[in-house]
Amino acid sequence: MAWTKLLHLTDTHLVPPGQLLYGSDPHQRLQAAVRSMATEHGDAAFCIVTGDLAHLGEPAAYGALQDTLAALPMPVHLMIGNHDDRVAFCRQFTTTPVDGAGFVQQALPFAQGLLLTLDTNEPGVPHGVYCPRRCQWLADRLHDSGDAPLWIAMHHPPFDVGLPSMDAIGLHDAAALTEVLAPHLERVRHLFFGHVHRPISGSWNGVAFSTLRATNHQVALDLSRRDAIPGSFEPPAYAVVLADSRQTLVHSHDFLDDSRRFDL
């Protein structure tokens, strides 16, 4: 079976056009990512964006996001994170599917199986929540999917990542999600998430996972600090994912890297 190429982008943290965030322009950073994706990987089947789309959930930020992503030649599937406002998001992105309870999550069939995008946003708190209604939606989709291979995408990781400042605001009811997934873990090929603004990969309950740097600012690598979240301006990235029935490969692309290229 041929590869399916998909793109993973996360934590765009857009503010209204013309404003800066931590001294950087997240809109310009996102535009650069979109140009790179369209030019270098326009053949991707789709792009997923795993939350924190807007820094403060402003309608103007979502409008800028929609206008910028319109330049991509492939479908874009959006999730929301703790910085997002579900109501403002849904008013702007009226065609993005929501479940029966109004959560921004969907089941997306593609050539290799099924991608499940989850909504872990809980208004007013930075940590993630996956409540009983969301768990029931997921349980129903898993039941309906038969024996299809599964890929999962969400904002908050359902486990600690070794960064104390971020682990404190991870998915707080991860046990409930884990219980729903447990009978199906052998079918889960990969888990994508955002939130932590760092390139991290590994395995969780036997499931491979990956996340990557955001497009504007990063969380610095500090495995001991708990009092605050340390930030940095390490290079932004998006991921180019190649998936088939046997494996999922994740290539991180530092799209602003202008270092000289040459033949080896």
Per-residue pLDDT at 9 exceeds 70:
yes
Distance of alpha carbon 14 from alpha carbon 54, whole angstroms: 4
> pLDDT tens across 249-264, in order?
999 999 999 999 999 9
User: Would you say 175 and 102 are in contact if contact means Cβ atoms under 8 Å apart?
Assistant: no
Q: What pLDDT score was predicted for residue 1? A: 57
Q: What pLDDT score was predicted for residue 245? A: 80
Let me know how long the chain is: 264
The model carries a pTM of 0.96
User: Would you say 107 and 149 are in contact if contact means Cβ atoms under 8 Å apart?
Assistant: no
Q: What pLDDT score was predicted for residue 183? A: 96
Mean of pLDDT values over 184-212: 97
pLDDT confidence tier of residue 2, bands split at 50, 70 and 90: confident
Tokens matching residue 145: 């999917």
Q: What pLDDT score was predicted for residue 246? A: 86
Alpha helices in the chain (DSSP H): 26-40, 59-69, 86-92, 132-144, 164-167, 174-181
93: how many CB neighbours lie within 10 A of its CB?
A: 19
Per-residue pLDDT at 11 exceeds 90:
yes
